[in-house]
Amino acid sequence: MSNAERRPLLLDFEKPLVELESRIIQIRELAEENNVDVSDQIEQLEGRATQLRREIFHSLTPAQRLQVARHPRRPSTLDYIQAMTDEWVELHGDRSTGSDDKALVGGVARLAGRPVVMLGHQKGRDTKDNVARNFGMASPSGYRKAMRLMNHANRFGMPILTFIDTPGAYAGVEAERLGQGEAIAYNLREMFRLDVPIVCTVIGEGGSGGALGIGVGDRLLMFEHSVYTVASPEACAAILWKDAGKAPQAAEALRITATDLQNLGILDEILPEPDGGAHANPLAAAATLKQALVSSLDHLSTHAAAELRELRYQKFRDIGVFLEPAT
């Protein structure tokens, strides 16, 4: 990919890295034109670029991690499914209103030889695709489709794997008319009663009730540059300070990063990303996710159904519990 193609997708904190990479390319081209051996210098500069990339992505602020989580080339649910599974059959429709929400996809797959049901939010890759996918914001029919697939998994004893990547549920008038809140609340309740293992992974942006609608599970995994939040930093800043420009300040206060959530006892495992983020090496990110999912399912499969339900219930009951110091 040329520099011109990359520039529209360039994040502000990546500029020093891109400038260094451009310099390496220029030096290499000049050396080839003049038949000069600069391999040692190129090797040193490439080593510096690798080190700089690692330094940048290991010291991101919450607001910068949000930028990475929203990167248009970040792998989506369907990208991960195609990269990880041996077989995949997408299933459509909510069997209720007769509609098929493209912002939430799901189906039956085989992961490392194990039959599973996979479902998740699906964003688009470009503007046209994003409009078709409603920017990953699911409607009531999407959450009802998800519940239909999860009931199917429960009936046939297949584990459920969900992939969270949405700014939030669709908040349009039509969605409210069709019962958006009820559809999400129903999923929250029903996921607690399922007998099969459920592993939820935040692969990008986990926003509000739209994320929770498929987020009740036995284990919660999260890529290191993903975010999970009750409201977007922009919305939070607009509500608290009447100024969406204070989103970076809100991102700090909301504790939206994987490390924050792990420290709060909400997250079970942080999945490391390739240097430069998951979009820099999607296949490596998919390999990491597959290994984590297989390991989680191996562990959860040792529990009986009743034990799974009780542990799942207790997991969420423990969220937010704290002990006050004795006086």
13-66 pLDDT, tens digit per residue, is 877 777 777 887 877 778 777 777 777 777 887 788 778 788 888 888 999 999
Predicted local confidence at residue 119, as pLDDT: 97
Predicted local confidence at residue 51, as pLDDT: 81
Q: Please spell the DSSP secondary structure of 27-82, one letter per residue.
A: HHHHHHHTT---HHHHHHHHHHHHHHHHHHHTS--HHHHHHHHT-TTS--HHHHHH
Residues 303, 307, 313: CA angle, nearest 5 degrees: 125
pLDDT band at 8 (very low <50, low <70, confident <90, very high): very low
> How much is the mean pLDDT over the chain?
90
If DSSP codes are grouped into helix, strand and coil, which group holds residue 111?
Answer: strand
The pLDDT of 228-239, averaged and rounded, is: 91
Predicted local confidence at residue 16, as pLDDT: 78
Predicted local confidence at residue 1, as pLDDT: 40
Establish how many alpha carbons lie within 13 A of residue 173's alpha carbon, considering only the half-sphere containing its beta carbon: 0
The pLDDT of 192-205, averaged and rounded, is: 97
Give the whole-angstrom CA distance, residue 147 versus residue 190: 8
DSSP state of 126: S
What distance lies between CA 168 and its chain's CA centroid? 12
Residue linked to tokens 């190129």: 42
Predicted local confidence at residue 327, as pLDDT: 62
Q: Name the pTM for this structure.
A: 0.88
Q: Please spell the DSSP secondary structure of 184-229, one letter per residue.
A: HHHHHHHHTT--S-EEEEEEEEEEHHHHHTT---SEEEEETT-EEE
Q: Are 123 and 135 in contact (CB under 8 A)?
A: yes
15 vs 268, more confident:
268
Could you tell me whether strands 87-90 and 104-111 are parallel, antiparallel, or unpaired per DSSP bridges?
antiparallel
The pLDDT of 150-178, averaged and rounded, is: 94
